[in-house]
Structure 1
């Protein structure tokens, strides 16, 4: 599976588990909601910096964002 798709699925899962809207997570991570939406759909390649900000905003280990074994 494509790593960008895995990242998007994991970000969406973690966001939903945290009870956050896309808008709130985007604000917390310092990015636009449309960018976050693109990441969750697997159509944007995130920078390492963006991944670090998402992990921090989600209070998640950055490795969890790329774990192919995580399930929705």
Structure 2
């Protein structure tokens, strides 16, 4: 899915999604829920990804 498509589905702007991907912005909890809904995943999916990336036991 492109940033533009994700922006349309989530109600977020493409530039903002780009900044999230590049690590320039940190999403709010509300934004995480919007992205999860647009991607048809649970919000915990993102938390699990971060836990694995930083090796939190």
Unmatched 5+ residue regions in structure 1? 1-19
- Given candidates 38, 47, 55, the residue that maps to 2:28 is 47
**SS of 2:52's equivalent?**
coil
Aligned length: 51
Unmatched 5+ residue regions in structure 2? none
Over residues 10-46 of structure 1, what are the superposed CA-to-partner deviations in whole Å (9 max), with x where a residue is unaligned? xxxxxxxxxx111000110001000000001111011
Which of structures 1 and 2 has the bigger CA Rg?
Answer: 2
State the distance in 2 between where 1:54 and 1:36 align: 9
Where has structure 1 moved over 3 Å in runs of 4 or more? none
TM, length-normalised to structure 1:
0.65
TM, length-normalised to structure 2:
0.80
Tell which has more relative contact order, 1 or 2 (C-alpha 8 A, sep 6+): 1
